[in-house]
């Protein structure tokens, strides 16, 4: 008889236990207890009724998609992941109710479900898929956390929920050894790896594409953080700059400064100056202007406008005195050529290349790169870098080197035209007369 009424009750996902038959229970229960048990439905039945009622009220889109965790995440320009709060737009977030009337009923039903979980528990991950986005959209974070804690303390909180609330700082990360199996490309998993493990180039590119395509614009802070120093290639920082500038007024001051520290690398000085006025003190702006004058050669001595008359010994002494400052790129073109013909050649080259990597927008660094190209007889590259040297390219030594470079690539008439103009300004310079004679005789 006992076997006839025996049922199976689901306790965990993998484990099933046989529940005792009604007769077996009655052996140890009073009549009043049996009557109460019959009249009162078990917790599972109560929750099933609430769940089915909720199912009839919520929208088909929510039933289909469930909790889309990435829609409730944002990031700042410091690379931090944040829980998105505030007023959610239905044009971005799917409606969770079939109608306004259904919405009111859902609000009432939520109270019943939350009340149920305050004294009972049923492990129902599907219910969490519906309730989580609704409570998030309503900004009822406290209620949601209290509900999730019921699952978390029993170690049955779904992994997606765990990762989401670890990312936003609600739960500590206890998934340090988490290995994704077949789900490495899911956005939530990529964000977990970004925060705790580190991303591959492929994963960084995937995030970049998702933001640029406006699929997940709220993660633009992470993309800025990952690509702030990438100024070349297919995926670079410039499209991100443009988006951030449009929303500059909405940024916190710490984010504005973070943005500008990267944006300064563009060399767009006038624009940078006006943006800095919204985030920096007057003293900081003044120091920046002085630094830019140095970087762009605005503070170089008037001697560099003319031809250098220093001998090799004095140039070497000057280099020894200044090499610790790592500002060898500020030497005049002729001085650099003298140094390139000494034992310091390789060291000097590395200093210039290193400076270019850091401040590729600098006029005076581009001039040094041009001289390096000239020394290596790459004359077209010389002309390229010289064109990026601002007003420095019009100084006497640069004009002279440009004339020689033009002659080397076959443009003799343009070369002679430059040299004749130089000769009018510096009639006593023998180097100019010699160059003119060499080109005419070639």
* Residue burial 66-99, b: 16+ Cβ < 10 Å; e: rest: ebbbbbbbbbbbebebeeeeeebeeeebbebbbe
Q: How far apart, in whole angstroms, are the C-alpha atoms of residue 117 and residue 149? A: 10
CA distance 423 to 426: 5
Output Rg (C-alpha) for the chain, integer angstroms.
Answer: 36
Calpha distance 36→18 (Å, rounded)? 22
- Report the distance separating Cα 280 and Cα 214, nearest Å: 31
Domain boundaries, the chain: 2-40, 45-188, 199-280, 302-441
Q: How far apart are CA 438 and CA 442, in angstroms?
A: 6
pLDDT in tens, the chain (442 residues): 333 333 333 333 333 333 344 344 344 444 444 344 444 456 788 889 999 999 999 888 889 999 999 889 999 999 999 998 755 544 433 478 877 778 888 889 999 999 999 999 999 999 999 999 999 988 899 999 999 999 999 999 999 999 999 999 999 998 876 767 666 778 898 999 999 988 989 999 999 998 888 888 899 999 999 999 888 889 999 999 999 999 999 999 999 999 999 998 887 888 999 999 999 999 999 998 888 887 777 766 555 667 777 678 888 888 887 777 777 888 899 999 999 999 889 999 999 999 898 888 888 999 999 999 999 999 999 999 999 998 889 888 999 999 999 999 999 999 999 999 999 988 888 899 999 998 988 7
Tokens read off for 27? 């052996």
**Structure-token pair, residue 110:** 């939520």
d(CA 352, CA 9): 75
**Between β-strands 81-83 and 73-75, what pairing exists: parallel, antiparallel or unpaired?**
antiparallel
pTM for the structure as a whole? 0.67
Instruction: Just give the CATH number of 302-441.
Output: 1.25.40
Residues sharing a CB contact under 8 Å with residue 348, sequence separation 6 or more, in sequence order: 319, 328, 336, 339, 340
φ, ψ of residue 341 to 5 degrees: the values are -100, 25
b/e per residue 353-390 (b: at least 16 CB within 10 A): eebbeebbbbbbbbbbbbbbbbbeeebebbbebbebbb
Contact status, residue 336 vs residue 348, Cβ threshold 8 Å: yes
Q: Decide if 51 contacts 231 (C-beta within 8 A).
A: no
β-bridge mates for residue 16, sequence order: 10
Q: Is residue 285 within 8 Å of residue 273, measured between CB atoms? A: yes
Cβ contact 329:366 at 8 Å: no
């Amino acid at each position: 008889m006992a076997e006839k009424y025996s049922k199976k009750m689901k306790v965990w996902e993998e484990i099933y236990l046989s529940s005792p038959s009604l007769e077996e229970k009655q052996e140890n229960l009073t009549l009043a207890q049996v009557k109460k048990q019959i009249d009162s439905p078990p917790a599972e039945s109560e929750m099933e009724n609430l769940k089915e009622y909720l199912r009839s009220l919520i929208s088909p889109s929510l039933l289909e998609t469930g909790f889309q965790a990435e829609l409730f995440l944002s990031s700042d320009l410091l690379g931090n992941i944040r829980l998105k709060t505030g007023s959610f737009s239905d044009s971005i977030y799917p409606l969770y109710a079939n109608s306004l009337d259904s919405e009111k009923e859902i609000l009432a039903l939520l109270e019943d479900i939350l009340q149920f979980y305050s004294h009972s528990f049923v492990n129902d991950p599907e219910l969490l898929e519906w309730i989580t986005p609704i409570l998030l959209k309503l900004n009822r974070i406290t209620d949601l956390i209290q509900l999730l804690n019921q699952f978390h303390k029993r170690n049955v909180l779904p992994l997606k929920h765990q990762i989401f609330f670890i990312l936003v700082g609600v739960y500590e990360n206890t998934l340090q050894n988490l290995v994704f199996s077949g789900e490495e490309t899911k956005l939530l998993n990529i964000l977990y790896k970004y925060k705790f493990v580190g991303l591959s180039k492929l994963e960084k590119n995937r995030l970049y594409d998702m933001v640029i395509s406006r699929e997940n614009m709220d993660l633009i802070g992470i993309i800025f953080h990952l690509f702030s120093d990438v100024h070349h290639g297919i995926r670079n920082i410039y499209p991100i700059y443009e988006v951030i500038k449009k929303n500059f007024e909405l940024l916190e001051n710490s984010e504005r400064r973070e943005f500008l520290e990267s944006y300064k690398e563009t060399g767009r000085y006038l624009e940078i100056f006006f943006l800095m006025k919204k985030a920096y003190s007057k003293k900081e702006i003044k120091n920046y202007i002085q630094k830019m004058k140095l970087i762009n050669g605005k503070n170089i001595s008037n001697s560099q406008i003319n031809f250098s008359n220093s001998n090799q010994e004095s140039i070497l002494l000057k280099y020894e005195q200044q090499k610790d400052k790592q500002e060898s790129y500020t030497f005049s073109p002729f001085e650099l050529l003298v140094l390139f013909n000494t034992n310091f050649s390789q060291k000097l080259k590395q200093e210039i290349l290193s400076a270019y990597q850091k401040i590729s927008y600098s006029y005076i660094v581009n001039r040094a790169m041009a001289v390096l190209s000239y020394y290596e007889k790459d004359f077209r590259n010389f002309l390229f870098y010289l064109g990026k040297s601002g007003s420095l390219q019009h100084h006497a030594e640069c004009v002279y080197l440009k004339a020689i470079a033009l002659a080397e690539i076959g443009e003799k008439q343009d070369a002679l035209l430059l040299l004749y103009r130089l000769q009018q300004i510096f009639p006593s310079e023998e180097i100019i007369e010699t160059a003119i004679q060499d080109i005419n005789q070639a």
